Structure 1
Amino acid sequence: MSSRPFLRCGFWLAVALALLVSPSVQAFCPTNGVRCGLGGAGVTHQDLTEETLEDLAQELFALSHPTLAMKQASQEVSKANAEVDDDQTNGFKHFDGESFTAGKQRLVTLFEGVRESLRAEDATAARRQLGQALHTLQDFYSHSNWIESGRSGALPSLWRSGEALPPPAAADAPTCKACEWVLLSDGSLLVDCGDNLLTPLLTTGFYGGENEVPAVPTKCRHGGPFDTGPGPFGGINKDSALQLLSPHFGLHGAAAASALEASKQFIRDLVAPLTEHQRRLLFGVGPALALVLDTSGGWEGGLLSQLVREASRIIDARMGTAQEPSRYILVPFPSTSTGALGAMGDAREFKRALTSLKTGGGGACSGPSMTAVLQALGTAGQGVDLFVFTRSSAGDEALASAVSGLARKRDARIHVFQAGACGGDAVYRRLASETGGQFFQLQALDALGLFHFVDATVRANAVELLSVVEPQGGSRTFAVPVDSSLSQVTFSVSGGTSLRLTQPNGLPLLGVEPGVRKIPLSTGMLVTVVNPQPGTWTASMTPSGGFSFRVSGESALRFERFELVEPFGRPGHQGYAPLVGLPLSAGAFAQARLSGELASTRFELRSQAGGLLQTLALAPEPGGAPLEFFGPVDLPSSPFAIYAVGSTRGGEPYQRALVTARGPQPVRVVGPAAQTLTPGTAASLVFQVHNSGAVNTFRPVLLADPRFPARVTPSSLVLGPEETGTFTVRWETPRNTVPGTATALTLAAESLVPGGPHNFAVVEALVASPPR
Structure 2
Amino acid sequence: MTSGLGFSLLALILSGPTAAFVPIGGGVSTHVSITGTALLQKVTETCRAVAEAAGHEFKPTGSSPGELVQACLGPTATGEVSGVKFYSALQEIYTQNGLVDRNFANSAPHHFNSEAFLEGRSLITKGMASIKANIRTENFKAARETMGRVLHTLQDFYSHSNWVELGNTEPYIALIRPDLPLENMADVDTATCRDCATTTCTNPILQNILNQRMLTSGYMGIFSDRKPQGKCSHGGEADLSSATLPRGGIHKDELRTDNAAFHNAAVNAATAASLQLLEDVRLTVGNNDFLRLMGITRSAVVCFVIDDTGSMSDDIEEARKAVYKIIDSKKGTQDEPSEYILVTFNDPHFGPLFRTTDPDKMKTEISKIKASGGGDHPEMCFSGLQLALTGAPASSHIYVFTDAPPKDIHLKNTIAALIKRTKSTVSFYITAPVRRHRRSVRAASFKDYKDLALASGGQAIQVSKSQLAQATNVILDTSTSALVTVFQSTRDPGKPETFPFMLDKSLQNVTIYITGQTLAFTLTNPAGVNQSNIEPIGALAHIQTVGNLRRIVLNSDHQSGSWKININSKQPYTIKVTGQSTITFIYDFVESFKGPHPGYAVLSGLPQAGQPATLMLSVMGRRGTSSIRVENVALVVSDTGVESNGKTTDMGNGDILVTVDEVPAGEFVVILKGTDEMSSSSFQRQSTTQLSVSKVNIQAMVDTSVEPGKDFNLSFSVMTKGPSGKFIISGSNDRDFPMSYPKSLSLTTGTYTNGTLTISPPSNTPSGTDVTLTLEAKSSNGVDSNHAVLRLSVVTKITDFVQPVCDVVSVWPDDCPRDMSQCMFFEWELSANLTDGNGTGIERVSLRQGDGTLSYTSLNVSSVHASYNASCCSQIVEFVAIDKVGNVGKCYHSIVRSAGHAAFSLSTPLWLCLLMSAWILKT
Give the TM interval when normalised to the shorter protein: 0.7 to 0.9
2-side partners of 1:490 and 1:143: how far apart?
A: 54
1:576 counterpart (600, 612, 624): 600
Q: Which residue of 2 aligns with 1:456?
A: 477
Give the drift of 1:760.
1.9
1:677 is paired with a residue of what secondary structure? Answer: coil
Gaps of 5+ in 1: 1-27, 182-189
Q: Which residue of 1 aligns with 2:426?
A: 414
2-side partners of 1:644 and 1:59: how far apart?
A: 35
2-side partners of 1:80 and 1:535: how far apart?
A: 40
**Residues 35 and 44, structure 1, Cα contact 8 Å, conserved in 2:** yes
Amino acid corresponding to residue 291 of structure 1 in structure 2 = F
Q: Which residue of 1 aligns with 2:255?
A: 241
Amino acid corresponding to residue 580 of structure 1 in structure 2 = S
- Identify the range of structure 1 (571-580 vs 138-147) with the bigger mean alpha-carbon deviation: 138-147
2:669 is paired with a residue of what secondary structure? Answer: strand
1:554 aligns with 2:583: no
2:563 counterpart (537, 548, 555): 537
2:399 counterpart (375, 384, 387): 387
2-side partners of 1:611 and 1:207: how far apart?
A: 54
1:93 aligns with 2:110: yes
1:591 aligns with 2:620: no
Q: Which residue of 2 aligns with 1:444?
A: 465
2:311 counterpart (276, 298, 313): 298
2:777 counterpart (739, 749, 752): 749
Give the drift of 1:282.
0.9
**Residues 676 and 767, structure 1, Cα contact 8 Å, conserved in 2:** yes
2:415 is paired with a residue of what secondary structure? Answer: helix
2-side partners of 1:468 and 1:564: how far apart?
A: 21
1:74 aligns with 2:100: no
2-side partners of 1:598 and 1:29: how far apart?
A: 15
**Residues 719 and 751, structure 2, Cα contact 8 Å, conserved in 1:** yes
- Identify the range of structure 1 (428-437 vs 717-726) with the bigger mean alpha-carbon deviation: 717-726
Q: Which residue of 1 aligns with 2:139?
A: 122
Q: Which residue of 2 aligns with 1:618?
A: 648
2-side partners of 1:352 and 1:65: how far apart?
A: 35
Change (3 A) 1:487 1:158: farther
**Residues 69 and 461, structure 1, Cα contact 8 Å, conserved in 2:** no
Matched length = 724
CA deviations over 1:124-163 (Å, ceiling 9, x no partner): 3322332232112222332244545666565656435677
2-side partners of 1:193 and 1:726: how far apart?
A: 44
1:135 is paired with a residue of what secondary structure? Answer: helix
Change (3 A) 1:347 1:531: farther
Amino acid corresponding to residue 75 of structure 1 in structure 2 = Q
Q: Which residue of 2 aligns with 1:637?
A: 665
Write out aligned runs for 1:73-222 (5 A): 73-85=89-101, 86-88=103-105, 91-98=108-115, 100=117, 103-104=120-121, 106-148=123-165, 152=169, 158-160=175-177, 171=187, 176-179=193-196, 181=198, 191-193=200-202, 198=207, 199=210, 201=213, 203-208=215-220, 217=229, 219-222=231-234
Give the drift of 1:520.
3.5
CA deviations over 1:145-194 (Å, ceiling 9, x no partner): 454566656565643567788x756657765434465xxxxxxxx94425
Larger Rg computed on CA atoms? 2
1:587 is paired with a residue of what secondary structure? Answer: coil
Gaps of 5+ in 2: 1-13, 48-57, 67-82, 434-441, 622-626, 800-923
Change (3 A) 1:53 1:541: farther
1-side partners of 2:16 and 2:686: how far apart?
A: 28
Change (3 A) 1:119 1:290: same
1:272 aligns with 2:283: yes
Change (3 A) 1:344 1:771: closer
**Residues 16 and 655, structure 2, Cα contact 8 Å, conserved in 1:** no
- Identify the range of structure 1 (432-441 vs 314-323) with the bigger mean alpha-carbon deviation: 314-323
1:272 is paired with a residue of what secondary structure? Answer: helix
Write out aligned runs for 1:43-54 (5 A): 43-54=29-40
1-side partners of 2:752 and 2:646: how far apart?
A: 33
**Residues 481 and 537, structure 1, Cα contact 8 Å, conserved in 2:** yes
Q: Which residue of 1 aligns with 2:546?
A: 521
**Residues 68 and 460, structure 1, Cα contact 8 Å, conserved in 2:** no
**Residues 193 and 206, structure 2, Cα contact 8 Å, conserved in 1:** yes
Give the drift of 1:579.
1.8
Change (3 A) 1:194 1:51: same
**Residues 666 and 691, structure 1, Cα contact 8 Å, conserved in 2:** yes
1:735 counterpart (763, 766, 776): 763
Write out aligned runs for 1:670-749 (5 A): 670-671=699-700, 673-674=702-703, 676-685=705-714, 690=719, 693=722, 699-706=728-735, 708-714=737-743, 729-749=757-777
1:403 aligns with 2:430: no
1:369 aligns with 2:381: yes
1:260 counterpart (255, 267, 271): 271
Change (3 A) 1:102 1:666: closer
Amino acid corresponding to residue 369 of structure 2 in structure 1 = L
Amino acid corresponding to residue 70 of structure 1 in structure 2 = F
Change (3 A) 1:763 1:168: same
Give the drift of 1:709.
2.3
- Identify the range of structure 1 (384-393 vs 324-333) with the bigger mean alpha-carbon deviation: 324-333
Change (3 A) 1:215 1:403: closer
For CA contacts below 8 A with separation 6 or more, give which structure has more relative contact order. 1
CA deviations over 1:182-209 (Å, ceiling 9, x no partner): xxxxxxxx94425757427474522235
Q: Which residue of 2 aligns with 1:567?
A: 592
2:711 is paired with a residue of what secondary structure? Answer: strand
Change (3 A) 1:703 1:320: farther
1-side partners of 2:270 and 2:675: how far apart?
A: 36
1-side partners of 2:564 and 2:428: how far apart?
A: 26
2-side partners of 1:399 and 1:707: how far apart?
A: 12
CA deviations over 1:322-356 (Å, ceiling 9, x no partner): 33434433222225757523344443333322221
Q: Which residue of 1 aligns with 2:449?
A: 428
**Residues 684 and 728, structure 1, Cα contact 8 Å, conserved in 2:** yes
CA deviations over 1:47-88 (Å, ceiling 9, x no partner): 433454445444433565152222232233223323333335
Amino acid corresponding to residue 644 of structure 1 in structure 2 = L
Amino acid corresponding to residue 647 of structure 1 in structure 2 = T
Change (3 A) 1:123 1:320: farther
Change (3 A) 1:692 1:599: closer
Give the drift of 1:688.
5.3
Change (3 A) 1:55 1:589: farther
1:491 aligns with 2:512: yes
Change (3 A) 1:582 1:505: same
Q: Which residue of 2 aligns with 1:762?
A: 789
Change (3 A) 1:290 1:696: farther
CA RMSD of aligned residues (A): 4.0
Give the drift of 1:31.
7.3
1-side partners of 2:521 and 2:286: how far apart?
A: 46
**Residues 644 and 656, structure 1, Cα contact 8 Å, conserved in 2:** yes
Give the drift of 1:305.
0.5
2-side partners of 1:160 and 1:730: how far apart?
A: 32
1:473 aligns with 2:494: yes
Q: Which residue of 1 aligns with 2:824?
A: none
TM-score norm. by structure 1 comes to 0.82
- Identify the range of structure 1 (349-358 vs 201-210) with the bigger mean alpha-carbon deviation: 201-210
1:340 is paired with a residue of what secondary structure? Answer: coil
